[in-house]
Amino acid sequence: MIDPGISRRHFLSRTARAFAGSLVLSPTVFSASGLDQSTPVIAVFTKAYQTLNLSFNESAGVTAEAGLDGVDVPVRPKGEVEPERVADDLPRYAAALRRKNVSMPLLTTAITDTSGATETIVRTAKKLGTQFYRVGFIERAADPAKQIREVRAHLKDLAALNKEIGITALVQNHSPSGHTYLGGDLDELGALVEGFDSSQIGVAFDIGHALIVHKDGWREKFEAIKSHLKVAYIKDANMNGRWMPFGKGDVGRSGYFKLLREMRYHAPISLHLEYDWQQNGKTRESLLKALTESAAVLRRWLASA
């Protein structure tokens, strides 16, 4: 029986993707809907939703209508969920998502150590079935070697907390964008996560940022961190540092999706809308169009790898 909380269109879309994906990646993951997914769960980074000030119910609705599987929720200051309200608001958001058959596999946070609201955020997320949370960015200091040692000490504390709770923290690579973040260079990222159990401290690998920083040299550097890859962040970009609509940049030609297939990748994918999708108006319709078109290109990349 089709769940009454999802539209016929969304159900058929998910069923078709599961069938097509069985030709691509053989491992399966278990989604919130109870369906075995042969392709990775695609979760949209909902920072884009904040542009429209969507409610939790509205966010769940547009995600489902776009045929996406889940959300990657900003739980940070000025995010969709404020850290001090996580115990109340995150369960409300999760409930709205469940009614639309949408999951919440990961969060994006500003967490950099175990202080403040960290434990509340992580424990609340785990109770709701969230598997991963991305840690916050740290601006690169004058002495990065010393800084890496200091950050690794904080990651060690987070690793202990994650082991106790059963969740994974993610460190992301990010190219300079007015700020230079530690770990944007993949050599630095490798130094940050080296030696940690990847089930406690893993990598959110962003191929777009990697292309901007390393150009075609990203592939060799990726080898040193691929054992820690937990979540793939996907946005399209050209190597000159410009964010592009999906299919217009260099990501689809990078060979990354073939690599994911060879690695038998089946964890969630976080889809990011970084290009100017609002040029035709800051409306729900423009957002839905951007989500639908971007997801279609991403699925083509996965299927053709």
pLDDT tens per residue, range 290-300: 999 999 999 99
At position 182, the amino acid (one-letter code) is: L
Per-residue pLDDT tens digits for 110-121: 999 999 999 999
Predicted confidence at residue 21, as pLDDT, reads: 34
Which of 6-15, 107-116, 190-199, 293-302 bottoms out in mean pLDDT, i.e. has the lowest?
6-15
Cα-Cα-Cα-Cα torsion 293, 186, 147, 170, nearest 10 degrees, comes to 50
User: pLDDT above 70 covers what percent of the chain?
Assistant: 88
Assess contact for 289 and 246: CB atoms under 8 A.
no
Q: Is the pLDDT of residue 66 over 70?
A: yes
pLDDT surpassing 60 at residue 302:
yes
Does residue 72 contact residue 300 with C-beta atoms inside 8 Å?
no
Asked if the model's pLDDT at residue 236 lies above 90, the reply is yes
Query: Mean pLDDT over residues 166-180, rounded?
Result: 94
Q: What is the structure's pLDDT at 179?
A: 87
Please name each of the domains of the chain with its CATH number: 41-304 (3.20.20.150)
Q: Model confidence at 276, in pLDDT bands (50, 70, 90)?
A: very high
pLDDT surpasses 90 at 4: no
pLDDT of residue 177: 83
Give ∠ CA 23-270-235 in degrees, rounded to 5: 95
The pair of structure tokens assigned to 190 is: 């490798």
5-14, 77-86, 109-118, 171-180: range with lowest mean pLDDT? 5-14
Which helix (DSSP H) or strand (DSSP E) does residue 266 occupy? none
